[in-house]
């Protein structure tokens, strides 16, 4: 029998590690956590130093029994759970399970990469379990449990009609929801300012390049900062800048330019720029870049990265961990891998792409833990091309992204030349800029994608031979109406970036934040943008009103900083939780007093929402004297006043009302269930497939909007694009569809002739 037992979380990780340790070791997987807080109780003794009361997770009994059995036959037990706070907490749970054997020799080992060398380094450097890291994880868990367990019932009470949807509040998710709601409110309140642009096209017709009118009489053209300005503000603005706020002023300038006879190059400026490579990935930048470049959701990115870390079967090579640990906020790299990268770069691309020494990256910012390296390939032996046949498409694309970013991070800067040309005719000056690459440098391997602004125009390439004094013909002139735009809605990528910049959340939490608020139906995703739902806005309003600290960005960032201090041993577990809990308890008490109470119809006492085997229900707080209980469904029937449509039910003559169902809003009879009349709310567009029904908006299980025929299941027409009741001006088709992309923003397109229809939906 083997003398040593190695315990990890994942079976895939166990298989990979088993290859490197030999027959004197048994590697077993716990398949994640083995203990957790109870589902139906708080599980935290606030009066006893916030002591946690864990229970064995249902279904883990056989695994625990097996671990105990193996531990009794092993001389040494190595716990090799993930090298982060969560892994440290799991390690302690395992240690407490196996320490039933007297004198058990238990060590903690860390594998930053699941390779032969990585496993050897970990096994050669065993240590004891870091109680500070465990305390940090426990403190995070307790904060999250207290907030979720004690605020959620207030949400259930405040929004009774949605109580079946598992409403919840969370320490980080609530802040993310607030950011999205505030951005949506900002967009709703935004008042657009009209302005006009004039573009000039210079050169011979076939080769003309676009420029923008930049200044008039030396005054740069600017957009007025407000839709409406006082005469005094306009006077001050006009003294410094020129503007074309309406068609009249633009037409006047346009006609004056048209009358000019000679345009010549008045200035040419060339400026050389050195662009440095981006650092290797950390968790947040990997999720953001995978979202932009690969259209992968954060949770999906982390799931694929986990597989790449734990090990992939590479034919005869067996199971190999292809990347380092994927939950990190450090860009640090080991000297060994930097040297390997330099050899690879010189061999593949030549010495001119190799800096004189390795490019250093490391700890930046007070929140960076620097416990792990950046996310990188474990070995440059396994190029993306070499392992492609063993990976599915998503795994290959993500691995190639990580590989290219890492290799590029050790290459020379790119050298670019920025050229700005000005073309003038008396008081008018047009300007255009262009960029050429003089030396590719790192850009030969990798170039970070950008989240472009809606409707942004790509600059035209500038022709060669532009010299000061050279005359150029005006090939064309156009004036364009524009409107200022509000800040864009958050994408998953930009929300993660915003949370990270504000010190909210940590590498292990980013992927779950967006998923949670989407799953709760607080937010929905439209054209890859996050938009709050009516439910999300109501939840946010309640939280901001009653728990301003919990959803305050700076307060949440301070809690994250306190958790970091606990992990570093600079703050005690109990002290940190006291600082958090007692102000929270006062706020909770005030919120409970202000919240409308549900009174017992038998004794007049207060009813509270509880969770039982079959879900939530109302129970009298005077129990056991009063044992009155009510189902939420029955309570809502007696208290909800549905919105009247103004029409009668065609089936029984009662009022027709709006109702909310699993797949969205619909019209039903107020006498339901005695009368089962229902009607879908349609968009007024005839179904293009069956030509009998009309298109209605529906909701997927994840809250995403889609559009289908109201004759379903007889007609299975389905579209992710919203049909709009408007004729196509190109082919006269009876409807168009609302679509979105990063270049055009929201636009209308005909599904029949595929022509774009002018104007936003």
What average pLDDT does this structure show over 641-657?
A: 79
Question: What does the pLDDT read at residue 368?
Answer: 45
* CATH number of the domain that residue 426 is part of: 2.70.20.10
Q: How confident is the model at residue 453 (pLDDT cuts 50, 70, 90)?
A: low
Task: Tell me which range, 161-170, 223-232, 628-637, is most confidently predicted by mean pLDDT.
Answer: 223-232
Overall average pLDDT of the 70-78 stretch = 90
The Cα 384–Cα 391 span in angstroms is: 9
Give me the pLDDT at residue 754, please.
85
Distance CA 518, CA 623 (A): 37
Mean pLDDT over residues 28-48, rounded?
A: 89
Question: 522-544, pLDDT tens digit by residue?
Answer: 999 888 899 998 889 989 998 99
Q: pLDDT at residue 761 above 50?
A: no
pLDDT mean over 30-38: 90
pLDDT above 50 for 470: yes
- Give the C-alpha separation, 510 to 640, whole Å: 38
Q: Which helix (H) or strand (E) holds 215?
A: strand 209-216
This prediction's pTM = 0.76
pLDDT band at 171 (very low <50, low <70, confident <90, very high): confident
pLDDT in tens, 195-241: 999 999 999 888 899 999 999 999 999 998 877 788 898 889 999 99
pLDDT at 163: 45
Nearest-angstrom CA–CA distance, 270 and 224: 30
Confidence of residue 663 (pLDDT cuts 50, 70, 90): low
Q: Please say whether the dihedral angle defined by the alpha carbons of residues 622, 627, 628 and 630, taken in this order, is positive or negative.
A: positive
Residue positions counted in the chain? 761
Lowest mean pLDDT among 230-244, 302-316, 369-383, 630-644: 630-644
CATH number for the domain harbouring residue 33: 3.40.50.140
Q: Are residues 288 and 397 in the same domain?
A: yes
Q: HSE of 306 in the Cβ direction (CA atoms, 13 Å)? A: 16
Regarding whether 56 and 14 lie in a shared domain, the answer is yes
Are 186 and 199 members of one domain?
Answer: no
Residues 324, 347, single domain; the answer is yes
Q: Is residue 603 situated within a structural domain?
A: yes
Give the pLDDT confidence score for residue 381 in this predicted structure: 93
Average pLDDT over residues 141-158: 86
Does residue 759 register a pLDDT over 50? no
Look at residue 45 and tell me whether its pLDDT is greater than 90: yes
Long-range interactions of 314-319: CB distance < 8 A, separation 24+: 314/382, 314/387, 314/390, 315/390, 318/16, 318/19, 319/12, 319/15, 319/16, 319/19
Please confirm, yes or no, whether 325 is among the known catalytic residues: yes
Distance (Å, whole) CA 741 – CA 585 = 46
Give a yes or no: residue 67 inside a domain: yes
Q: How far apart are CA 327 and CA 373, in angstroms?
A: 10
Residues 421 and 399 in one domain: no
Domain CATH number, residue 341: 1.10.290.10
CA dist 703 to 521, 530, 698, Å? Answer: 6, 12, 9
Tell me, yes or no, whether 651 lies in a domain.
Answer: no
Query: pLDDT band for position 632 (50/70/90)?
Result: low
Average of per-residue pLDDT across 316-336: 91
Q: How far apart are CA 237 and CA 706, in angstroms?
A: 47
Q: What is the pLDDT of residue 101?
A: 47
**CA separation for the pair 698, 136 (Å, rounded):** 43
> What's residue 91's pLDDT?
93
Q: Looking at 310-324, 471-485, 666-680, which range is the least confident one? A: 666-680
pLDDT of residue 703: 59
pLDDT classification of 278: cutoffs 50, 70, 90: very high
For position 730, what pLDDT does the model report? 84
526/609 same-domain check: no
Considering the domain architecture, whether residues 376 and 288 belong to the same structural domain is answered as yes
For residue 142, pLDDT beyond 90: yes
Predicted confidence at residue 613, as pLDDT, reads 59
Judged against a pLDDT cut of 50, whether residue 366 lies above it is answered with no
Q: What string of DSSP letters covers 502-558? A: TT-S-TTTHHHHHHHHHHTTSEEEETTEEEE-HHHHHHHHHHHHH-TTTT-HHHHHH
Q: Name which of 611, 530, 562 is nearest 40 in CA terms.
A: 611
Is the domain of 548 the same as that of 574? yes
The answer to whether residues 186 and 260 belong to one domain is: no
Q: What is the pLDDT of residue 264?
A: 95
Res 732: pLDDT: 85
Q: Which residue has the higher pLDDT, 364 or 220?
A: 220
Asked whether residue 330 falls in the same domain as residue 391, the answer is yes
Q: Name the range with the highest mean pLDDT among 69-78, 404-413, 653-662, 746-755.
A: 404-413
Which of the residue ranges 578-592, 634-648, 733-747 would you say has the lowest mean pLDDT? 634-648
Top-confidence residue, 270 or 730: 270
173-194 pLDDT per residue, tens:
999 999 999 999 999 888 888 9
Confidence of residue 578 (pLDDT cuts 50, 70, 90): very high
Residue pointed to by tokens 């939840």 = 539
Q: What six digits make up the tokens of 300? A: 């999906």
Q: 412, 430, 450 — which closes off a domain?
A: 412
pLDDT for the residue numbered 150: 86
Residue 356 scores a pLDDT above 60: yes
The reply to whether 453 falls in a domain is: yes
Question: What span, in angstroms and rounded, lies between the C-alpha atoms of 692 and 682?
Answer: 13
> Is 583 among the domain residues?
yes
The whole-number pLDDT of residue 4 equals 92
| Catalytic choice (20, 254, 309, 325) | 325
Q: What is the pLDDT of residue 367?
A: 47
Kindly state the average pLDDT of the residues 593-615: 73
* Dihedral over alpha carbons 107, 112, 114, 117 (to 10 degrees): -80
Region 132-146: mean pLDDT is 94
Do 455 and 307 form a contact (C-beta atoms < 8 A)? Answer: no
Last residue of a domain, one of 639, 667, 700: 639
The per-residue pLDDT for range 694-741, each reduced to its tens digit, is 888 877 766 577 888 888 888 988 888 888 888 888 888 889 988 876
**pLDDT, average across residues 402-409:** 97
687 vs 630: which has the higher pLDDT: 687
Closest to 348 in 3D by CA, of 444, 256, 425, 437:
444
Domain annotation covers residue 348? yes
Q: Is 217 helix (H, G, I), strand (E, B) or coil?
A: coil
* DSSP class per residue in 416-482: EEEEEEEEEETTEEEEEEEEEEEE-GGGGT------PPTTPPPPPPPPS---TT-B--EEEEEEEEE
Q: Provide the residue range defining the domain that includes 240.
A: 194-276+415-483
Judgement on whether residues 25 and 102 belong to the same structural domain of the protein: yes
CA distance 466 to 160: 70
> Rounded CA gap, 302 and 299, in Å?
5
669 three-state secondary structure: strand
The DSSP symbol for 177 reads H
Residues 317 and 342 grouped into a single domain: yes
DSSP-assigned letters across all residues of 567-623: HTTSS-HHHHHHHHHHHHHHHHHHHHHHSPPEEPTTT--EEEEEEETTEEEEEETTT
Mean pLDDT, to the nearest integer, of 410-431?
A: 95
Spatial separation of the C-alpha atoms in residues 348 and 340, rounded to whole Å: 12
Last residue of a domain, one of 381, 412, 443: 412
pLDDT digits (tens, 9 = 90+) for 98-110: 875 444 689 999 9
The whole-chain average pLDDT of the chain stands at 87
Q: What percent of the chain has pLDDT over 70?
A: 91
CA 664 – CA 142 distance, rounded (Å): 35
Residue 691 lies in a domain: no
State residue 125's pLDDT score. Answer: 94
In this predicted structure, what is the pLDDT of residue 513?
Answer: 86
Q: Name the domain count of the chain.
A: 6
pLDDT at residue number 742: 54
Q: Does residue 236 sit within a domain?
A: yes
């Amino acid at each position: 029998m083997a003398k040593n037992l190695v315990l990890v979380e994942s079976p895939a990780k166990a298989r990979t590690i088993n290859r490197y340790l030999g027959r004197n070791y048994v590697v077993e997987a716990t398949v994640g956590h083995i203990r957790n807080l109870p589902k139906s109780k708080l599980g935290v003794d606030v009066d006893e130093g916030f002591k946690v009361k864990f229970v064995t997770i249902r279904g883990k009994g056989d695994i625990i029994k097996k671990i105990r059995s193996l531990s009794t036959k092993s001389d040494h037990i190595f716990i090799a759970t993930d090298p982060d706070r969560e892994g440290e907490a799991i390690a302690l749970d395992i240690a407490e399970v196996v320490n039933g054997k007297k004198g058990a020799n238990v060590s903690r080992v860390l594998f930053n990469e699941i390779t032969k060398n990585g496993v050897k380094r970990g096994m050669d450097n065993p240590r004891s379990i870091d109680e500070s890291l465990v305390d940090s994880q426990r403190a995070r868990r307790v904060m999250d449990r207290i907030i979720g367990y004690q605020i959620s019932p207030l949400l259930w009470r405040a929004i009774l009609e949605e109580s079946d949807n598992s409403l919840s509040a969370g320490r980080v998710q609530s802040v993310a929801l607030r950011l999205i709601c505030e951005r949506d409110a900002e967009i709703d309140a935004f008042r657009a300012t009209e302005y006009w642009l004039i573009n000039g096209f210079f050169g011979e017709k076939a080769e003309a390049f676009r420029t923008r009118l930049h200044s008039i009489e030396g005054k740069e053209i600017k957009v007025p900062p407000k839709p409406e300005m006082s005469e005094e503000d306009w006077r001050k603005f006009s003294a410094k800048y020129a503007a074309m706020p309406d068609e009249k002023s633009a037409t006047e300038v346009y006609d004056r330019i048209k009358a000019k006879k000679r345009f010549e190059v008045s200035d040419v400026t060339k400026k050389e720029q050195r662009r440095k490579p981006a650092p290797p990935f950390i968790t947040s930048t990997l999720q953001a870049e995978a979202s932009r470049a690969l259209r992968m959701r954060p949770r999906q990115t982390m799931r694929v990265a986990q597989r790449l870390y734990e090990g992939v079967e590479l034919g005869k090579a067996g199971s190999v961990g292809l990347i380092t640990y994927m939950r990190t906020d450090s860009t640090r790299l080991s000297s060994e891998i930097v040297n390997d990268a330099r050899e690879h770069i010189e061999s593949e691309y030549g010495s001119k792409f190799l800096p004189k020494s390795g490019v250093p990256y490391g700890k930046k910012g007070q929140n960076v833990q620097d416990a792990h390296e950046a996310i990188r390939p474990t070995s440059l032996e396994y190029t993306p091309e070499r392992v492609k046949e063993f990976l599915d498409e998503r795994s290959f694309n993500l691995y190639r992204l990580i590989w290219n970013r890492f290799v590029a991070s050790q290459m020379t800067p790119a050298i670019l030349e920025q050229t700005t040309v000005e073309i003038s005719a008396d008081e008018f000056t047009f300007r255009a800029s262009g960029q050429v690459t003089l030396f590719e440098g790192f850009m030969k391997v990798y170039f970070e994608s950008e989240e472009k602004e809606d409707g942004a125009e790509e600059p035209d390439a500038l022709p060669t031979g532009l010299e000061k004094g050279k005359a150029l013909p005006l090939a064309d002139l156009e004036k364009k109406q524009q409107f200022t735009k509000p800040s864009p809605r958050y994408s998953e990528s930009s929300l993660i970036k915003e949370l990270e910049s504000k010190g909210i959340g940590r590498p292990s939490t980013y992927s779950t934040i967006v998923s949670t608020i989407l799953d709760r139906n607080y937010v929905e995703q439209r054209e890859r943008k996050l938009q709050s739902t009516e439910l999300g806005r109501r939840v946010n309003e309640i939280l901001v009103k009653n728990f301003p600290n919990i959803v305050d960005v700076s307060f949440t960032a301070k809690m994250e900083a306190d958790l970091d201090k606990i992990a570093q041993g600079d703050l005690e577990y109990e002290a940190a939780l006291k600082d958090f809990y007692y102000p929270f308890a006062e706020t909770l008490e005030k919120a409970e007093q202000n919240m409308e109470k549900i009174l017992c119809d038998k004794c007049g006492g207060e009813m509270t929402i509880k969770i039982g085997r079959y879900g939530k229900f109302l129970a009298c707080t005077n129990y056991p004297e009063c044992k009155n209980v009510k189902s939420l469904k029955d309570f809502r029937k007696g208290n909800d006043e549905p919105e009247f449509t103004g029409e009668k039910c065609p089936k029984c003559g009662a009022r027709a009302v709006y109702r909310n169902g699993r797949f969205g809003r619909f019209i039903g009879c107020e006498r339901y269930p005695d009368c089962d009349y229902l009607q879908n709310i349609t968009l007024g567009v005839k179904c293009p497939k069956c030509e009998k029904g009309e298109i209605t908006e529906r909701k997927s299980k994840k809250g995403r909007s889609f559009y289908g025929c109201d004759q379903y299941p007889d007609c299975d027409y389905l579209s992710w694009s919203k049909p709009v009741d408007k004729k196509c001006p190109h082919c006269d088709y009876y409807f168009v569809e609302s679509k979105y992309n990063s270049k055009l923003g929201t636009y209308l397109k005909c599904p029949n002739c595929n022509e774009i229809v002018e104007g936003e939906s």
